[in-house]
């Protein structure tokens, strides 16, 4: 990567012993730690030259690595964490990890681990953490984020953060994604092993490539901090006291007339004398291949405010901007990250986009958006690229403005399935035309109902018929009428490619009678591959835990487990609901048994959707009976789940009254009789104390 660095600030290369960085390995001559004293040991001959350490790949036992003192670093004592390095990967390393912490099960799999890798066997970079109770499939609880793998012989910047809520991965200053930790914690990691150049999975090999600089921080860098570190490059460090900036990096269509609104936040621990704001159109400053120029010249403005209205900018132009903090008393300059933004054209600029919307049949759905325009404007709304007009008596379109801010609203009354689709607004003025984001309007309803009474057809009225296929399946007496019985060989039900939009939420409801504890057998799996935008409800391994899991692209978005929920050779009703906020509840026989939160699935057409089959080739097919399978695009309420259960199983004890002594789910005279039989009995010793 090309770098142009002008360093004029005294002390920029000072490495604070107390601050964010707890361990730093610069590899100038060995693997010494210049900050925390946790010196590493070179194993099997990695080569250090020119400020870089080179690893060559190979087996776990013979590959060149750095062995770090895991107990000294004590990664499980961190409440937050950042791991950062600059590396050059020159080959596809297969299943390897650039750095890892944790332990190893006897079978060679990782245990209670954390890793960051520039590339692994499925051609992705990944940051991941796992608290692993299962030695056979420890990755089942792994929480991680994927990014692109680079084998281009170019140095790239990798950062993993764990902030107590999420794990995040950045590559070259760009956020690749985040994943919620759920119950996974740094505190549950093992301090047994720590490496640079390999992972705690001894079944994998060692990594090949160069590392230029390696750091561990005792807090999670902000996005602004990651960008600043990326721009400063290796062997250079400064605390990032600018916490956030608006507009965000690489923002488009930033309003410029009468001014561009710039704002920022700053670390409360800094005593600020003033801010110096730099704005530049210099192509060298804007070029992301060049590192940060520390002193870019005369500030665009000097202010004590946390905002600036930049009033001399031009339309459709890319600007670089940054905010430096000058400390009160000392005059010390804290350099801020350089962000880019592009100003808007003369045409309208949408500032508030429409959002995915859902409503029940017969209700009114409302879509709205806001845009800036300095001129009179018109708006049209489109559904599936066809204009929606007021000629439909159920459609109302409004356009209002206060100054240069315009608001448009599309209302659709008496909602029906025919109204579903992709919608966007198009605003036009004399300066041009601009479209809003496209969003989906969904009608909340049952998408499919498979009673399996002699066939796998959909009886919801939507025509989403399934197709039973594979080696052995049959229809026989089930929980309600007939059920389908899958052999566990290669039998499953193939579903149509219609399950794409679950932004309103979802519900899976069915009766199951498993005949065998088939490994990772799916009750239902909606997917595009393994992994690819999967939504599945399954057994965990061969155990009794039930799991609902959502993937966002190739990365796990989150999961909810119901431990001990599965039994063999008996009919049991399972329901999973997820509402529009990602709140999940799993029910067994009408009662909630687990809950949690996962991100909403992406809106994609899932072309491999099945009942009884997994997208992962190593998983087994479901073996047993399934009946009354329903799929909804919204979350049923607890009462609606109870109604479904009662319809098939009859009345049940949904909650136990406090004074139900005989456990019949009612408070009756029989309970009073039991109380009366014990009336005035006293267990206090001595008996004389009984009154």
Domain locations along the chain: 21-220, 242-343, 350-443, 474-649
- Which stretch of DSSP H or E encloses residue 26? none
Higher pLDDT, 690 or 518: 518
Res. 563 pLDDT band, cuts 50 70 90: very high
Give the tens place of pLDDT for each residue, 162-197: 998 999 999 999 999 999 999 999 999 999 999 999
What residues does 242 pair with on adjacent strands?
266
Strand, helix or coil at 690? coil
Residue 292: its pLDDT value, please? Answer: 65
CB of 125 closer than 8 Å to CB of 147 = yes
- The pLDDT of residue 74 is above 60: yes
Summary mean pLDDT of the chain: 91
Domains 242-343 and 474-649 share a fold: no
For residue 283, what pLDDT band results from cuts at 50, 70 and 90?
A: confident
Is the model's pLDDT at 2 over the cut of 80? no
Q: How confident is the model at residue 16 (pLDDT cuts 50, 70, 90)?
A: very low
pLDDT at 228: 93
Q: Is the pLDDT of residue 76 over 70?
A: yes
- Options 2.60.120.200, 3.40.50.2300, 3.40.190.10, 3.40.630.10; CATH for 21-220 is 2.60.120.200
For residues 369-388, give the mean pLDDT.
93
Percent of the chain with pLDDT over 70: 96
CATH code that applies to domain 474-649:
2.60.120.200
- Residue corresponding to tokens 């809003």: 436
**Whether the Cβ atoms of residue 91 and residue 237 lie closer than 8 Å to each other:** no
- pLDDT tens across 215-228, in order? 999 999 999 999 99
Beta bridge partners of 321: 279, 339
Are the C-beta atoms of 186 and 130 separated by less than 8 Å?
no
Instruction: Write the CB contacts of 500 (distance below 8 Å, at least 6 apart in sequence).
Output: 603, 604, 605, 606
What pLDDT score does 672 carry? Answer: 85
pLDDT at 33 over 90: yes
Using pLDDT thresholds of 50, 70 and 90, give the confidence band for residue 605. very high
DSSP 85-118: EEEE--S---S--SEEEEEE-TTS-EEEEEEEES
Q: Express each pLDDT in 303-316 by its tens digit.
A: 999 999 999 899 88
pLDDT score of 12 more than 60: no
Q: Average of pLDDT values for 343-358?
A: 90
What pLDDT was estimated at residue 346?
80
DSSP for residue 664: S
How many distinct helices (H) and strands (E) make up the chain?
5, 49
Instruction: Evaluate if residue 139 carries a pLDDT over 80.
Output: no
Q: What is the Cα–Cα distance from 163 to 186, expressed in whole angstroms?
A: 10
Q: Tell me: the pLDDT tens digits for 78-101? A: 999 999 999 998 877 778 899 999
CATH superfamily label, 350-443 = Immunoglobulins (2.60.40.10)
Note the pLDDT of residue 288.
62
Residue 688's φ and ψ, nearest 5 degrees, are: -65, -20
Write the class of the CATH domain 242-343: mainly beta
- Strands in 555-622 per DSSP E: 555-562, 572-578, 583-588, 591-597, 608-611
């Amino acid at each position: 990567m090309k770098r142009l660095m002008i360093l004029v600030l005294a002390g920029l290369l000072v490495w604070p012993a107390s601050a964010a960085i707890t361990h730093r390995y610069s590899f100038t001559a060995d693997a010494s730690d210049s900050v925390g004293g946790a010196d590493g040991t070179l194993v099997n001959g990695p080569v250090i030259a020119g400020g870089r350490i080179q690893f060559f790949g190979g087996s776990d036992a013979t590959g060149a690595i750095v062995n770090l003192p895991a107990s000294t670093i004590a990664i499980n004592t961190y409440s937050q964490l950042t791991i950062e390095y600059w590396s050059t990967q020159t080959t596809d390393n297969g299943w390897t990890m650039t750095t890892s912490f944790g332990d190893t099960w006897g079978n060679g799999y990782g245990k209670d681990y954390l890793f960051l890798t520039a590339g692994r066997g499925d051609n992705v970079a990944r940051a991941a953490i796992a608290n692993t109770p299962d030695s056979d499939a420890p990755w089942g609880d792994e929480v991680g984020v994927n990014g692109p793998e680079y084998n281009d012989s170019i140095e790239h910047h990798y950062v993993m953060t764990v902030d107590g809520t999420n794990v995040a991965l950045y590559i070259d200053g760009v956020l690749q994604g985040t994943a919620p930790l759920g119950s996974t914690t740094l505190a549950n990691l093992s301090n047994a092993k720590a490496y640079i150049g390999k992972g705690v999975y001894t079944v994998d090999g060692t990594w090949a490539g160069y590392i230029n600089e390696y750091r561990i921080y005792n807090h999670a860098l902000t996005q602004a901090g990651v960008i600043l570190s990326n721009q400063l490059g290796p062997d250079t460090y400064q605390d990032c006291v600018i916490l956030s900036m608006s507009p965000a990096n690489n923002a488009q269509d930033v309003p410029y007339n009468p001014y561009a609104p710039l704002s920022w936040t700053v670390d409360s621990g800094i005593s600020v004398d003033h801010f110096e704001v730099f704005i530049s159109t210099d192509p060298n400053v804007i070029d992301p291949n060049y590192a940060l120029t520390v002193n870019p010249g005369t500030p665009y403005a000097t202010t004590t405010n946390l905002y600036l209205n930049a009033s001399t900018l031009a339309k459709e132009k890319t600007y670089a901007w940054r905010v430096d903090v000058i400390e009160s008393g000392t005059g010390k300059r804290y350099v801020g990250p350089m962000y880019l933004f592009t100003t808007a054209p003369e045409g309208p600029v949408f500032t508030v986009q429409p959002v995915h919307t859902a409503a029940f049949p017969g209700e009114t759905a409302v879509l709205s958006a806001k845009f800036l325009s300095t001129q009179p404007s018109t708006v049209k709304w489109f559904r599936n690229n066809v204009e929606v007009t007021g000629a439909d008596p159920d459609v109302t379109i409004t356009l209002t403005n206060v100054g240069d801010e315009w608001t448009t609203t599309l209302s659709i009354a008496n909602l029906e399935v025919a109204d579903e689709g992709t919608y966007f607004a198009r605003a036009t003025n004399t300066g041009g035309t601009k479209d809003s984001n496209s969003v989906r309007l969904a009608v909340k309803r049952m998408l499919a109902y498979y009673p399996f009474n002699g066939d796998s057809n959909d009886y919801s009225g939507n025509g989403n018929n399934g197709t039973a296929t594979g080696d052995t399946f049959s229809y026989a007496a089930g929980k309600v009428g007939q059920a389908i019985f899958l052999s566990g060989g290669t039998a499953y039900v193939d579903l149509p490619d219609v399950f794409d939009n679950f932004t309103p939420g979802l519900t899976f409801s069915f009766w199951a009678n498993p005949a065998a504890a088939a490994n990772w057998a799916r009750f239902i799996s909606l997917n595009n591959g393994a992994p690819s935008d999967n939504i599945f409800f399954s057994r965990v391994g061969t155990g009794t835990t039930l799991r609902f899991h959502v993937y966002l692209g190739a990365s796990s978005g989150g999961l909810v487990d119901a431990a001990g929920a599965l039994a063999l050779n008996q009919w049991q009703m399972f329901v999973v609901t997820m509402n529009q906020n990602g709140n999940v509840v799993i029910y067994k026989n009408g009662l909630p048994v687990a809950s949690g939160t996962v991100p909403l699935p992406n809106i994609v057409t899932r072309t491999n959707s099945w009942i009884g089959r997994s997208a992962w080739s190593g998983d087994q097919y479901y073996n047993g009976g399934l009946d009354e399978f329903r799929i909804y695009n919204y979350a049923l309420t607890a009462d609606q789940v109870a109604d479904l259960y009662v319809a098939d199983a009859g009345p049940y004890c949904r909650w136990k009254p406090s004074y139900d002594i005989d456990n019949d789910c009612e408070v009756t005279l029989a309970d009073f009789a039991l109380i009366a039989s014990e009336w005035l009995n006293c267990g206090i010793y001595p008996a004389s104390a009984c009154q």
